[in-house]
Amino acid sequence: MSQGVEFNRLLLEMRSMQMEAMAKGKPQEVAPAAEGMPSFSELLGQAVNKVNATQQTASEMANAFEIGQSNVDLTDVMIASQKASVSFQAMTQVRNKLVQAYQDIMQMPV
């Protein structure tokens, strides 16, 4: 559930940045991130790394089940696989939104 919270936080930050840009209309210098708060690129990198870790965990569990390890249950493997799938789909949607935002910014009149 924490991944969903992080994606929501990331989307909220993107929306607030978009609103600021629309309201001001003039380009301004990017302010440094407040101390203790990670930057946008750090948040995005952490999200990608968590999706990757989720996928690797699901793959390891599937391999362990396939070779017959007794401590791995089929239901756990399926749940891990679905978590990896959902997190990857969410990351894909975030990527699509970022690409769309970039394209919108590039099409703005100067």
Buried b (16+ CB within 10 A) or exposed e, 41-74: eebbeebeebbeebbeebeebbeebeeeeeebee
Say what the pLDDT of residue 38 is.
84
Helices (H), 37-109: 40-66, 74-106
What's the whole-model pTM score?
A: 0.62
Say what the pLDDT of residue 1 is.
47
Say what the pLDDT of residue 91 is.
93
Q: Are 50 and 3 in contact (CB under 8 A)?
A: yes
Q: Are 61 and 70 in contact (CB under 8 A)?
A: no
pLDDT tier at 22, thresholds 50, 70, 90: low
CA-to-CA distance for 57 and 23, rounded, in angstroms? 43
Reply yes or no on whether the pLDDT at 64 is more than 50: yes
Across residues 67-82, what is the average pLDDT?
A: 93
More confident residue, 56 or 32: 56
